[in-house]
Structure 1
Amino acid sequence: MILNKIIEKNISGKKVLGLFIITNLVYAFMLMVTIPKTMEFANGMKLLDMMPTGYDFNYVNKLFSSLGDIGRETYLTSHIPVDMIYPLLFGISYCLVMAYFLKKINKLKTPFIYLCLLPIITGIADYSENIGIITMLNSYPDFTETTVNITSMFSVIKSISTSIFFVALIMILVLVGIKFFKKTSNIN
C-alpha cells in the first residue's frame, strides 16, 4: 500500500517532532494573532472556523454584517492565508505522529494504519471549509444558503474527524505507556 511506504519513509523521531513543532507554532499564531485580530470586528460572535457544530445562513449573514468591510477583509487577508497553510501541516504531521506511536506498539502494519488517515480527512475538510468561507466573503451579501450549508457541513466533518483522531491518539498513547511500563518493570 502506498500509504504504508510514504509513512515508513517519514516517521523518524526528529522529522515527526519537527513537523509537530512547526504545525503547533502555526496553530498558536492563529490562536494568538489572526483569530483575535479578526474577532476584534465580530462583536463577540465566533468565527466560522471556530464553530464545531456548524452554522446557518442567518448566523453567517449576521457575522459578516458585524464584521463590516474591514473585518471581512481582515478575515480574508489575515486569517485565511495562514489557515490555508495549517491544514496541510496538520494532516501531514498528525498522520506521522499517529504512525510513529503505532509503530511503537507494533500496530503500524495492521488495519490501525487507517487511523493515520483521520488527520488527512481533517485537512481536506478544513480546506473545503476555507474555500467556502472565501467564497462567502467574496460574494457577501449575495452568498447562497447552499454555500453556507455545504461549508457548515465541512466544518462539522472537520470537527468530528479531529475529535475521533485525538480520542484514538490518546488511546494509542495509553497503550504506548503501558508497553513502556511493562518493559521497564521486566528490566528490574
Structure 2
Amino acid sequence: MLTKIANLARRYASGRNVLVFFALQMIISMLILPYIQTRFDPDQKLGVLDLKFGFTPDQAYAMLDGYQEQGRKYYLFVEAFVDIIYPIIYTITNLLLLSYVFKRGFTADSFMQKLNVFPLLVIICDLLENAGIITMLTAFPNRADAAAALASNAGIAKWITFGIAIALFLTGIGAWIRAAYLNQKHGG
C-alpha cells in the first residue's frame, strides 16, 4: 500500500500540482483557519489546542471552558469537519513536494525515494490529536483526561514528525542542488 502511494505521489509530483496544493494549503492556513479561530476565541487569547506542543488535561479544560458553550460547539464542528480536510490538503502537498524534490535530487533506486510517504505519519498523528479533542469536546463539561493525554501526545508527535518532514524536504533540496551542480560540472 505504501509503495502504491509513493509511486502515485511521484507520478503526480509536477511543479504545477505542487503549486496548486501549496496555494490551497496557504489559503487555508493563512486565511480560513485564522478566521475560524476568531469564531471560538474572538480575542485570540486562549489559543487552539491543535497548535500547542503538548498540554496537560487541566490546561486543555481551562481553554475549552474559556471558549464558552457556543465556542465549544463551533470548535467541535471545526475539529470534526474542517480539520479533516486541512490535513488531507497539507499531506497531499507534502507528498507531492517531497516527491518533486526527491526525483530531482536522488536516483530512482535511492532509498530516499521511499521516504516521500513520510508525511503520512504527520496526518496519522494529526487525526489522533483531533480524535482526542473531539472526545474532550463531546464529553464537556465532564472530563476525559485520557482523551486529553491522547490529544497532547499525538500533537507532540505531529509537530515532531512535521519537523522531520521539513528536514527531509531540506535534504531533498540540498541533493537537488548537488545533482544540478554535478550535472553542470560534467557537461550533462
Separation (CA, whole Å) in 1 of partners of 2:160 and 2:64: 25
Q: Hey, what does 1:96 align to over in structure 2?
A: 96
SS of corresponding position for 2:67: helix
Q: Hey, what does 1:51 align to over in structure 2?
A: 52
Shift of 1:8: 3.0
Among 17, 23, 41, the alignment partner of 2:25 is: 23
Equivalent AA in structure 2 for residue 133 of structure 1: I
Separation (CA, whole Å) in 2 of partners of 1:116 and 1:154: 21
Number of aligned positions between the proteins: 185
Unaligned residue ranges in structure 2 (runs of 5+)? none
Among 8, 11, 16, the alignment partner of 1:9 is: 11
Q: Hey, what does 1:148 align to over in structure 2?
A: 148
Q: Hey, what does 1:74 align to over in structure 2?
A: 74
Q: Is the 8 A contact 2:25 2:93 kept in 1?
A: yes
Q: Hey, what does 1:139 align to over in structure 2?
A: 139
Cα pair distance change 1:165/1:60, threshold 3 Å: same
TM-score by length of 2: 0.86
Aligned-residue RMSD, C-alpha: 2.2
Shift of 1:95: 0.9
Unaligned residue ranges in structure 1 (runs of 5+)? none
Separation (CA, whole Å) in 1 of partners of 2:117 and 2:37: 27
TM-score by length of 1: 0.86
Residue identity over aligned pairs, in percent, reads 21
Q: Hey, what does 2:34 align to over in structure 1?
A: 32
Separation (CA, whole Å) in 2 of partners of 1:143 and 1:169: 39
